[in-house]
Amino acid sequence: MSHPPPAGATAPPPAPARPAAWREAADRLRAAATTEPGRLRIIGAVLAAVLVAFGAVTAWQVTDRAAAADAVVRTSQPLSADAADIYRSLADADTTAASGFLAGGQEPHAVRQRYEKDVALASRLLVKAAANTEGSETSRRQITRLNELLPQYTGLVEAARANNRQGLPLGGAYLRNAGDRMRTELLPAARQLYEAETGRLGSDYADAESWPWAALATGVLALAVLGWAQRRTYRRTHRVFNHGMLAGTAAATVVLLWLVVGHAVARSDLEDSFTHGAQSLQVLNEARIGSLQARGDENLTLVARGSVLTKNGDDAYEAAYGEGMRKLIGGGSSSGEPSPGTLLERARKLADDPAGRDPVDAAIRDVREWQGRHGEARAADDSGLYEKALPKVIGEKGSTGESFDRVDQELSRALAHEQREFDRAADDGRGALSGLAAGAAVLGVLGAAGAVMGIGRRLSEYR
């Protein structure tokens, strides 16, 4: 039972408030900083923190760039190539369907097989693209649209083929409808898919090639702090070397040099893979697709027989063929050289060795031959000699189809070479970063341990 305090007694004073934990730590730090051992402990902690931070930041930034370089090789470039193949397969299917229609009711078995192979390849690549495309709403939307439109297109082609076998003029209308559907809906969707995947490739290149500025700045800071600490030790002890801090300096220097040289080599190889690989592939794909579309327009010129006109009253398909040829090689030239800025001229400039230039040069010669044969076919058709013009377009020998096939084969050969060039350079760029992230982390920890041991050696002199 408690009793009240006696009369006249005073209450004990309240206990003093306990200072905040951070304030106590600050007071201890200030007290430690007034003595040399305390200062050394602070310096050791700072050195260890900076070296570990340097290793960690380097590992983080190098890992990001290595992942981007890996995405270039394994994901974005293959998807860009697949998107180009989807575009090419659709354009080739349209061209082949028109060639088979021109051949009459019983189209050649090889033509039919080529058409079916193109459609099957486009369908398979669309499934693959849908499974591997991540984060791109544009790509997913275009893949869905292509999957919806492709069966409609093939249905129109089958209707055209069935009517053509029966000799009904309606077959030509179905084929023109299919061709218009391909040009106005499928190919634009395929192009948007290709552009989206190519944009993703460019983004991955930019991420892989960007300099790791945070890691470089942290490395310079680490060397500056180590240099200051060693100079301070020398001024107080007149000892030239502190083995622990010297080991930390060596570790930081190795990491910094490895980072600069490794990233510079990786960047150079990746730039080479883009200029003489990815960029060449893009231009060659454009050229190959352009030649396919020109061939399709050439075939449809004979199918339509002047029934589809431009606003100026010209044959629409012949006008489209001429525009495609101008993009591919330009106007006529007495030297046979392509006009500046055209697709084949750009492809030849991007080729950096004879193995890449030779097939492009051959394609240029074959396109010029194609143009000459096309002129002969048009002259015959414009003179009302359709039966004479037809073999000049779809015949096995001396036809525009023969020239087109050679162009397509040469461009395919150039694409295969540039793909190998891309793979080699991109793999070299990715390989230049291998081991750097793990090495930086380990050397950062070892450097921090060395610096702490060096400070510990100085502290032992005060005991």
Q: Give the Cβ contact number of residue 122 at 10 Å.
A: 23
How much is the pLDDT for 52?
93
Residue (of 144, 134, 142) closest to 194 by Cα position = 142
User: Is the pTM above the cut of 0.95?
Assistant: no
How much is the pLDDT for 16?
55
- Within 13 Å and on the Cβ side, how many CA atoms surround 360? 31
Q: Supply the Cα-derived Rg of the chain in whole angstroms.
A: 36
In this structure, the chain runs to a length of 463
Q: How far apart are CA 34 and CA 30, in angstroms?
A: 7
> Position 71: which residue type?
A
In the DSSP assignment, the letter for residue 74 is I
Question: Which tokens belong to 387?
Answer: 């039966």
134 Cβ neighbours under 8 A, 6+ residues apart: none
Q: How far apart are CA 89 and CA 94, in angstroms?
A: 9
7 sits in the region (left: phi over 0; alpha: psi -120 to 50; else beta) called: beta
Residue (of 339, 336, 311, 310) closest to 326 by Cα position = 339
How much is the pLDDT for 9?
54
Question: Which tokens belong to 309?
Answer: 């006109």
Q: How far apart are CA 403 and CA 288, in angstroms?
A: 13
Walk along the chain (463 residues) in steps of 10 and give the mean pLDDT of each run.
Answer: 56 56 67 68 86 94 93 89 92 89 82 93 92 80 94 94 87 89 92 90 92 94 90 72 84 94 93 89 92 89 80 85 91 67 92 92 94 92 89 89 93 94 91 91 90 75 61
Cα 442 to chain center, whole Å? 32
Q: How far apart are CA 50 and CA 44, in angstroms?
A: 10
Through-space distance between the first and last CA atoms of the chain, rounded to whole angstroms = 57
Q: Give the Cβ contact number of residue 12 at 10 Å.
A: 6
Contact 41, 459 (CB under 8 A): yes
How much is the pLDDT for 7?
56
Report helix, strand or coil for 333.
coil
